[in-house]
Structure 1
Amino acid sequence: MSTFKIEGGFKLKGDLEPQGAKNEALQVICATLLTAEKTIIENIPEIRDVLKLIEILKGLGVQSKRLSKGNYSFDASEVDIDFLKSPEYAQQAAVLRGSIMIIGPLLARFGKGFIPQPGGDKIGRRRVDTHFIGLQKLGARFDFDRENMWYSVSTEKLTGAYMLLDEASVTGTANIVMAAVLANGTTTIYNAACEPYLQQLCKMLVAMGAKIQGIGSNLLTIEGVSSLKGCTHRILPDMIEVGSFIGLAALTASEITIKNVGIEHLGIIPESFRRLGIKVEQLDDDLLVKDTEHYEIDAYIDGSIMTISDAPWPGLTPDLLSVLLVVATQAKGSVLIHQKMFESRLFFVDKLIDMGAQIILCDPHRATVIGLDRKNILRATKMVSPDIRAGIALLIAAMSAKGTSTIDNIEQIDRGYENIDRRLNALGAHITRM
Structure 2
Amino acid sequence: MKKFSIQGGKKLSGTVTISGAKNSTVALIPAAILADEPVILEGVPNIQDVHSLIEILNMMHVKTEFNGSTLMIDPTDMVSIPMPNGKIQSLRASYYFMGALLSKFGQGVVGLPGGCFLGPRPIDQHLKGFKALGATVENEMGAMYLQTSEEGLTGTRIYFDVVSIGATINVMLASVKAKGKTIIENAAREPEIIDVATLLNNMGAKIRGAGTDVIRIEGVEEMHGCRHTIIPDRIEAGTYLAMAGAVGKEVLVQNVIVEHIEGLLAKMEEMGVPMEIGEDSVLVKETTSLKPVNVKTMPYPGFATDLQQPLTPLLLKANGESAIKDTIYPKRVKHIPELARMGAQARVESDLILLEGPCELTGAEVEASDLRAGACLVIAGLMAEGNTKISGIENILRGYDHIIEKLTDLGADIEMIEE
Q: TM-score, normalised by structure 1?
A: 0.93
Q: Secondary structure at the match of 2:251?
A: strand
Work out the CA distance in 1 between the residues paired with 2:257 and 2:54.
Answer: 25
* Other-structure match for 1:407: 390
* Other-structure match for 1:388: 371
Indicate conservation of the 8 Å contact 1:125/1:343, yes or no.
no
Indicate conservation of the 8 Å contact 2:335/2:376, yes or no.
no
Work out the CA distance in 1 between the residues paired with 2:144 and 2:58.
Answer: 21
Work out the CA distance in 2 between the residues paired with 1:115 and 1:218.
Answer: 28
Indicate conservation of the 8 Å contact 1:339/1:346, yes or no.
no
> Which runs of at least 4 in structure 1 moved beyond 3 Å after TM superposition?
none
Cα displacement (A) at 1:265: 3.1
Using the TM superposition, name which of 92-101 and 333-342 deviates more: 333-342
The match for 2:309 among 307, 315, 322 is 322
Q: What are the equivalent positions in structure 2 for 1:262-301 lying under 5 Å apart?
A: 262-297=257-292
5+ residue gaps, structure 1? 298-305
State whether structure 2 residue 367 is matched by structure 1 residue 367. no
Cα displacement (A) at 1:280: 2.4
- The residue type equivalent to 2:319 in the other structure is K
* Other-structure match for 2:65: 65
Q: Secondary structure at the match of 1:321?
A: helix
Work out the CA distance in 2 between the residues paired with 1:204 and 1:117.
Answer: 26
Cα displacement (A) at 1:154: 0.4
* Other-structure match for 2:294: 307
Q: Secondary structure at the match of 1:56?
A: helix
Indicate conservation of the 8 Å contact 2:337/2:347, yes or no.
no
Work out the CA distance in 1 between the residues paired with 2:283 and 2:170.
Answer: 37
Cα displacement (A) at 1:129: 0.7
Indicate conservation of the 8 Å contact 1:169/1:193, yes or no.
yes
Q: Secondary structure at the match of 1:81?
A: coil
* Other-structure match for 2:131: 136
Question: Structure 1 vs Structure 2: percent identity of aligned residues?
Answer: 34
Work out the CA distance in 2 between the residues paired with 1:429 and 1:75.
Answer: 40
Q: What are the equivalent positions in structure 2 for 1:248-267 lying under 5 Å apart?
A: 248-267=243-262
The match for 2:148 among 138, 152, 155 is 155
* Other-structure match for 1:302: none
- The residue type equivalent to 1:152 in the other structure is Y
1:342-365 Cα deviation digits (max 9, x unpaired): 2331122011112121123112x3
Work out the CA distance in 1 between the residues paired with 2:271 and 2:60.
Answer: 47
State whether structure 2 residue 203 is matched by structure 1 residue 208. yes
Cα displacement (A) at 1:263: 2.0
Cα displacement (A) at 1:276: 2.6
Cα displacement (A) at 1:167: 1.4
Q: Secondary structure at the match of 2:130?
A: helix
* Other-structure match for 1:355: 342
1:78-114 Cα deviation digits (max 9, x unpaired): 22213x16xxx12111211100001111101101011
Q: What are the equivalent positions in structure 2 for 1:217-256 lying under 5 Å apart?
A: 217-256=212-251
- The residue type equivalent to 2:412 in the other structure is A
1:215-248 Cα deviation digits (max 9, x unpaired): 2101011111111111111001111111101111
Q: Secondary structure at the match of 1:378?
A: coil
Q: What are the equivalent positions in structure 2 for 1:159-178 lying under 5 Å apart?
A: 159-178=154-173
Indicate conservation of the 8 Å contact 2:263/2:304, yes or no.
no
Work out the CA distance in 1 between the residues paired with 2:372 and 2:356.
Answer: 21
- The residue type equivalent to 1:380 in the other structure is G
Q: What are the equivalent positions in structure 2 for 1:23-42 lying under 5 Å apart?
A: 23-42=23-42
Work out the CA distance in 1 between the residues paired with 2:105 and 2:310.
Answer: 42
Q: TM-score, normalised by structure 2?
A: 0.96
5+ residue gaps, structure 2? none
Q: How many residues align?
A: 415
Indicate conservation of the 8 Å contact 1:33/1:102, yes or no.
no
1:110-133 Cα deviation digits (max 9, x unpaired): 010111111100111111111111
- The residue type equivalent to 1:321 in the other structure is Q
Work out the CA distance in 1 between the residues paired with 2:154 and 2:299.
Answer: 28
Indicate conservation of the 8 Å contact 2:299/2:328, yes or no.
no
Work out the CA distance in 1 between the residues paired with 2:9 and 2:213.
Answer: 45
Indicate conservation of the 8 Å contact 1:36/1:78, yes or no.
no
Q: Secondary structure at the match of 2:11?
A: coil
Q: Secondary structure at the match of 1:383?
A: strand
Q: Secondary structure at the match of 1:251?
A: helix
Using the TM superposition, name which of 11-20 and 336-345 deviates more: 336-345
Indicate conservation of the 8 Å contact 1:323/1:393, yes or no.
yes
- The residue type equivalent to 1:368 in the other structure is L
Q: Secondary structure at the match of 1:249?
A: helix
- The residue type equivalent to 2:126 in the other structure is H
* Other-structure match for 1:301: none
* Other-structure match for 1:44: 44
* Other-structure match for 1:332: 319
Work out the CA distance in 2 between the residues paired with 1:239 and 1:168.
Answer: 19
Q: Secondary structure at the match of 1:330?
A: coil
* Other-structure match for 2:328: 341
* Other-structure match for 2:6: 6
Indicate conservation of the 8 Å contact 1:22/1:416, yes or no.
yes
Once superposed, what is the RMSD of the aligned Cα atoms?
1.3
Indicate conservation of the 8 Å contact 2:9/2:385, yes or no.
yes
* Other-structure match for 1:126: 121
